[in-house]
Amino acid sequence: MTTFRVKFLPYDTDIEIEDGDTVIRAALEAGVHVNASCGGEGVCGKCRVLIEGGTVEGGISEKLSRQDQESGYRLACRSIVKSDLVVRIPVESAIDSGVLKLQAAPRRTAHIRDMNFEELKEKGLFVAPVEKKYVELPAPTAQDNLPDITRLISHLQLEHDEHRLEVTLAMIRKLPQVIREDDFRVTATLVRPVRDVGKTRIINVQPGDTTRQSYAIAMDIGTTTIYGQVIDLISGEVLAEHGEFNGQISYGEDVISRIVYAEKPGGLVKLSEVVIKTVNKILAKIIKRSGVDPENISTITLAGNTTMTQLMLAVDPRHIRRAPYVPAATLFPPIKAADLGMDLGEHVAALVYPAVSSYVGGDIVAGVMGSGIYRTDELTLYLDVGTNAEIVIGNKDWLACAACSAGPAFEGGGLKFGMRAAKGAIEDFSIDPVTLEPMLITIGNVRPKGICGSGLIIMVATMFEMGIINNLGKFDRDLDTPRIREDNGVYEYVLAWKDDTQIDRDVTLTEIDIENLIRAKGAIYSGCMTLLTEVGMSIEDIEKIILAGGFGSYVDLEKAMTIGLLPEMDTAKITFIGNGSLMGAKMSSLTNRIRRDVVEVTKKMTNFELSDTPSYMDNYVAALFLPHTDMNKFPKLKARMDARKGLKQ
Amino acid sequence: MTTFRVKFLPYDTDIEIEDGDTVIRAALEAGVHVNASCGGEGVCGKCRVLIEGGTVEGGISEKLSRQDQESGYRLACRSIVKSDLVVRIPVESAIDSGVLKLQAAPRRTAHIRDMNFEELKEKGLFVAPVEKKYVELPAPTAQDNLPDITRLISHLQLEHDEHRLEVTLAMIRKLPQVIREDDFRVTATLVRPVRDVGKTRIINVQPGDTTRQSYAIAMDIGTTTIYGQVIDLISGEVLAEHGEFNGQISYGEDVISRIVYAEKPGGLVKLSEVVIKTVNKILAKIIKRSGVDPENISTITLAGNTTMTQLMLAVDPRHIRRAPYVPAATLFPPIKAADLGMDLGEHVAALVYPAVSSYVGGDIVAGVMGSGIYRTDELTLYLDVGTNAEIVIGNKDWLACAACSAGPAFEGGGLKFGMRAAKGAIEDFSIDPVTLEPMLITIGNVRPKGICGSGLIIMVATMFEMGIINNLGKFDRDLDTPRIREDNGVYEYVLAWKDDTQIDRDVTLTEIDIENLIRAKGAIYSGCMTLLTEVGMSIEDIEKIILAGGFGSYVDLEKAMTIGLLPEMDTAKITFIGNGSLMGAKMSSLTNRIRRDVVEVTKKMTNFELSDTPSYMDNYVAALFLPHTDMNKFPKLKARMDARKGLKQ
């Protein structure tokens, strides 16, 4: 990936960004404010910048006069960086640069990559889960008329030293034809036992030599989105990946409403069918894209939260939502994928990730396996934030986990103009400390439609740090701007006037929205605090944070610390894992060692029911402030706020 | 069973028979001839006998004059023995009593019974295959909210010392409801592994205590008939049993024509569906009759020949009928009965008996297990005669087996008036050596319709021994009776004139019928000889014969020796096992030990392909005589025939 360095004048701030990014995104990342209210569509014309050095593509608009254009002015939101740049922010926006500079540090993110075979081998984690073996069998004669299967097994023993083999009926059904199709030359697909004591199962036979075509499917069954991958078991590469909204969304947004639906007559079967339909949609796409022959796919590994897992397997989840929150099972036997209605060969085994409890599911366990916390020395906080937030704290010696209900704010739910992180959602934001004019960037660079979770955090953090809202999340009533107003008794900030939006209404951020966010982040923060207290540790002991989930990939770390969602720490110690569930599913597809370890890890993960932990409520109440009732827990933020106060005075 | 002794005058012969038998059957068993041609329906009126002592029920007919009736004359075929009797055969039938007395020894039969638990235990063969365990679980609380399955497993460990447990998805699906239905009191059904190293599988859970209700199904999948049993796993008793014709009969009488049908497009699936339909019909009947709750049935054990097994499992059998006769598999993994389309609970495991080769199938292996040859010291010949005859020779040290095609004669097929052993089939026969008038008994005591296999053997043996046919199976052309005649160039004997039959035609036995029988018995005898030669033994080494199958239960042993189907030996050393296949299936249902042993036994059974064994054809040609080209192999018969010659001269 080519990167370029963009320098912003007059601030003398510079930042490295990737080829294809726009100037306005570079500015935001560098903490440089440029007025902008159309989300990046180029229609408001406010984000005029002067390109003083280097090359950009686009950025010319009727909003710029011919003279401006010739002088090198461009719209920052439509200018794509094509070289190192020097960009001057026009004086009309460049007020109070000192304050701006205090605003935020550039973001830093580090992704944990999935491991490949080499790394798995280096770490002693590689044990092949599936192997294909080619044999050239002698044709039967009157003197040697062994059954087809016995002929195959005896030669696998003889030529490949394979013992303790067992077979499946599906494979026996294929054998008579397959064994004769290429003159008794066949490839057998062997699935290894998770434990050494088990048997190797011959799940498939194919004519000729197909040993180089060996694939697996990894899948994350999310409440909202389901992702699947086709994995090459020879190279370890992901050949295709695709996500689709879980078809169950029509039956309820969150796990609780899904459970309620499942309790209706026929509801469980319906929800099971619907999720399998989505799985099949994804399978069709990724198999097609990868170009692999489905016959060469041997396993599908699935990870999902406890409710999603039970719904997919048509196991009644009703007791998950009722105290004392009892799942039917957290460990599942291997199942035939075809028996679950999946459009995969009769031979394909479905392996379902084990869970810990009703609210710490297989998706989290997969993340623990994928991120490798269970093997690290460092005390690590693993956080997967969605409607429910799951927290794991620990290292190779011990693991504690808990779940808390954050509500839908992080997914854009429950807000006046909330929406999922989709096209038109404001995902990045800055505000001019003097004019209080906003700078907006939307997903897809189109006119804004609403606010997504990561955008909400940035807005609230930015406004809080600039004093536009106080530590209770209330707007400063004394500020002189038409953007802050009272509507039906609720104070709100107008992010975009209706002409700049897609919805022909002003898009606003309300105090109720902010309250929802504070509750959500308070739940998570107090969850972490409570878990730490229960294991006799404090926030300072955390050496590393791993953020998982779609939310975790987009959240601005500094802003998340500013609102008190995350404890304040060096961002270098925070990594994004992305879809931890999918990563774990992939790694289990690649090596049996992870599948073996996971059973032990799951047993080791001590679950805490926060609702039954007395300190949780105290911690929660203390966290219902920005960032927290105890500002001393956020020393860097305190320093910045104190500095800002000094500047203002 | 009450038995009575019937004495026949003037011969001074007596026999013990069972309550409910007729006088004519008693006469036949005692070797006493009474003319009779209507099969036992009472319409020919020829079987007049005088009851001189004791009581009979029935036997009065308009065919008897009032005076006869008052004198104590009865029709033998309609008189049921109700006490010890003295019966005089009227002088008109009592010609040449000396010859009659030479005719045949009374039959002796001894059945091997299925073993019960006590015997299994005595012989060290008992290992419970299924056990139910009842637990009273504590209800979950906030402090103890383990998953339902974990709660169950941990208490099975705690209270019943059960370890190494594995579960099924079907069982997990049931668990949340079942566990709460009777307030956390549940019974778990545990299926033991065949080998000690395996895991115990929890296949079912039920509310409350159902430990005393534990059942299994045993089934014999025959080419012609399918038999099923419901077995009580607590008492070892058979609670219900039923047989039905295999629905596949409409698609071909024998395995070869079934295979031919299976090769047609859709044929395999069709035949699989059809046999499962018959299985389900039987299941419905036996489950209903037994009164057991299907939920309490845990396993179904199935035994059938190799073709029937592959057809039932929808495994293409085409290579079974083509040289070099290769089956797809002879050992099958456990399968879910529901996956095979059987109307049994999702939890029920189907266990399929292993086979040895294409023509020595699971039915024979089941017979070997059921009869216990594999545990005996005595060198035993196990013979299952049907369209195909399977032969096993051996003892606890070694076992050799082979199959030969006998043709359908033993099942009444290919004869001019051949029929299955059903109502109206002549099953017993005697002939007056002077008048050449017959004595017929039919199944169901109705007018004759045709000849079944066991009847055929008796006719041919009787006529041969009396010199009516020679050792090539040809009628003595010099005999003076209208019953022997030439029809379209073929000699035949009229068994019943058309007025005495159900079919309005004379029922006859032709020389072609006899030739078919000689070929069939020749194939089996030479099969035995060849197998013995191959293992370096001779017929004299055989210490015991076990006859299996429907045919084996009805055949007259002395007559079978007379025609050379069986080697001549003390009938006390010959036992009937009945349905050996069903017996083996039952025993595997009762004890895992048999299921474990069967794998070793199957490996130990050395299969000989007779068609590839050079001596087979020589032995066959030598056996195409009555009883054999070498009369010295049948010394007792020789002595009787010599005595007869002496009498005649």
Chain B contact for A333 (CB, 8 A cutoff): yes
Q: Write out pLDDT tens, residues A149-198.
A: 999 999 999 999 999 999 999 999 999 999 999 999 999 999 999 887 88
Task: Average the pLDDT over B580-595 and give the result.
Answer: 95
B333 CB neighbours in chain A (<8 A) are 166-169
Q: Write out pLDDT tens, residues A348-375.
A: 999 999 999 999 999 999 999 999 999 9
CA neighbor of A514 nearest in space, from A469, A471, A473:
A473
The Cα B45–Cα B23 span in angstroms is: 14
**Mutate: best of B199, B201, B263, B319, partner A, most A CBs <10 A:** B319
Tokens of B275: 């046999």
pLDDT band per the 50, 70, 90 thresholds, residue A7: very high
β-pairing verdict for A388-394 and A380-385: antiparallel
- Yes or no, beta carbons of A330 and B150 under 8 Å apart: yes
Q: In sequence order, what are the beta bridge partners of A290?
A: none
Q: How many CB pairs under 8 A join A and B?
A: 125
CB A526 within 8 A of CB A517: no
User: Which of A618-632, B22-36, B316-330, B528-542 is predicted least confidently?
Assistant: B22-36
Contacts of B627 (CB under 8 A, 6+ apart): B471, B561, B562, B563, B564, B633, B634, B637
Contacts of B53 (CB under 8 A, 6+ apart): B7, B84, B85, B86
Taking the CA of residue A364 and the nearest CA in chain B, the distance in Å comes to: 17
CATH code, A127-207: 3.10.20.880
Taking the CA of residue A114 and the nearest CA in chain B, the distance in Å comes to: 30
- Rounded to 5 degrees, φ, ψ at A19 are -50, 130
> Can you give the pLDDT at residue B534?
92
CB A517 within 8 A of CB A349: no
CB A328 within 8 A of CB A310: yes
> Can you give the pLDDT at residue B171?
95
What's the order of all strands across the beta sheet hosting B399-405?
Answer: B574-578, B544-548, B380-385, B388-394, B399-405, B605-608
> Can you give the pLDDT at residue B552?
67
> Can you give the pLDDT at residue A363?
97
pLDDT band per the 50, 70, 90 thresholds, residue A100: very low
Nearest to A319 among B169, B176, B612 (CB): B176
Q: Write out pLDDT tens, residues B495-533.
A: 999 989 999 899 999 999 999 999 999 999 999 999 999
CATH code, A1-94: 3.10.20.30
Ranges of CATH 3.30.420.480 domains, chain A = 215-352
User: Which of A95-104, A520-529, B56-65 is predicted least confidently?
Assistant: A95-104
Ranges of CATH 3.10.20.30 domains, chain A = 1-94
Strand, coil or helix: B337: helix
Where does A426-497 have alpha helices with state H?
453-465
Taking the CA of residue B222 and the nearest CA in chain A, the distance in Å comes to: 21
Nearest to B169 among A145, A332, A357 (CB): A332
Helix axes of A267-290 and A255-262: crossing angle, nearest 10 degrees: 120
Does residue A507 have a pLDDT over 60? Answer: yes
The Cα A408–Cα A386 span in angstroms is: 7
DSSP codes of every residue in A31-49 = T----B-STTSS-S---EE
CA neighbor of B611 nearest in space, from B256, B225, B324:
B324
Mean pLDDT, all residues of chain B: 91
Top pLDDT among B414 and A303 is at A303
* CATH among 3.30.70.260, 3.30.420.480, 3.40.50.2300, 3.40.50.970 for B215-352: 3.30.420.480
CA B167 to chain centre: 38
Taking the CA of residue A87 and the nearest CA in chain B, the distance in Å comes to: 60
> Can you give the pLDDT at residue B648?
61
Does residue B93 have a pLDDT over 60? Answer: no
* CATH among 3.30.565.40, 3.30.1540.20, 3.10.20.880, 3.30.70.120 for B117-207: 3.10.20.880
Tokens of A24: 């306005």
> Can you give the pLDDT at residue A335?
94
CB B378 within 8 A of CB B545: no
Complex confidence, ipTM: 0.85
DSSP codes of every residue in B225-266 = EEEEEEEETTT--EEEEEEEE-GGGGG-SSHHHHHHHHTSTT
Taking the CA of residue A622 and the nearest CA in chain B, the distance in Å comes to: 25
Mean pLDDT, all residues of chain A: 90
CA neighbor of A114 nearest in space, from A474, A576, A602, A634:
A576
- Rounded to 5 degrees, φ, ψ at A333 are -70, 160
Does residue A103 have a pLDDT over 80? Answer: no
Nearest to A142 among B197, B335, B612 (CB): B612
The Cα B386–Cα B455 span in angstroms is: 15
Q: How many CA atoms lie within 13 A of B319 on its CB side?
A: 24
> Can you give the pLDDT at residue A512?
95
Interior angle at CA B273, CA B267 and CA B279, nearest 5: 140
pLDDT band per the 50, 70, 90 thresholds, residue A104: very low
B168 CB neighbours in chain A (<8 A) are 333
A339 CB neighbours in chain B (<8 A) are 169
B205 CB neighbours in chain A (<8 A) are none
Ranges of CATH 3.10.20.880 domains, chain B = 117-207
**Mutate: best of B143, B326, B331, B340, partner A, most A CBs <10 A:** B326
Q: Write out pLDDT tens, residues A33-86.
A: 888 888 888 888 888 899 999 999 999 888 888 888 888 999 998 999 999 999
pLDDT band per the 50, 70, 90 thresholds, residue A111: low
Nearest to B148 among A326, A357, A612 (CB): A326
Task: Average the pLDDT over B209-226 and give the result.
Answer: 96
> Can you give the pLDDT at residue B115?
80
Does residue A98 have a pLDDT over 50? Answer: no
- Rounded to 5 degrees, φ, ψ at A224 are -95, -50
Taking the CA of residue A150 and the nearest CA in chain B, the distance in Å comes to: 7
CB A349 within 8 A of CB B168: no
Chain A contact for B325 (CB, 8 A cutoff): yes
Rounded to two decimals, the pTM is: 0.84
Does residue A328 have a pLDDT over 60? Answer: yes
Taking the CA of residue A328 and the nearest CA in chain B, the distance in Å comes to: 5
The Cα B87–Cα B77 span in angstroms is: 13
- Yes or no, beta carbons of B324 and A147 under 8 Å apart: no
> Can you give the pLDDT at residue A634?
93
> Can you give the pLDDT at residue A114?
75
- Yes or no, beta carbons of A329 and B150 under 8 Å apart: yes
Ranges of CATH 3.10.20.30 domains, chain B = 1-96
Nearest to B142 among A150, A172, A324 (CB): A324
pLDDT band per the 50, 70, 90 thresholds, residue B427: confident
Percent of chain B with pLDDT over 70: 96
* CATH architecture of the region A370-408+517-648: 2-Layer Sandwich (3.30)
Q: Write out pLDDT tens, residues A393-447.
A: 999 999 999 999 888 888 888 899 998 888 899 988 988 888 899 988 888 888 9
- The residue with tokens 């926006």 is A93
- Yes or no, beta carbons of B319 and A148 under 8 Å apart: yes
CA neighbor of B22 nearest in space, from B45, B46, B47, B53:
B47
pLDDT band per the 50, 70, 90 thresholds, residue A552: low
Peptide bond between residue A10 and the one before it cis (omega within 30 degrees of 0) = yes
Q: Write out pLDDT tens, residues B304-338.
A: 999 999 999 999 999 999 999 999 999 999 999 99
CATH code, B367-407+527-643: 3.30.420
Q: H-helix or E-strand containing B494?
A: strand B490-496
Strand runs labelled E in A475-625 = 484-487, 490-496, 507-510, 544-548, 574-578, 605-608
Ranges of CATH 3.10.20.880 domains, chain A = 127-207
* CATH among 1.10.10.10, 3.20.20.210, 3.40.50.300, 3.10.20.30 for B1-96: 3.10.20.30
User: Which of B282-296, B402-416, B587-601 is predicted least confidently?
Assistant: B402-416
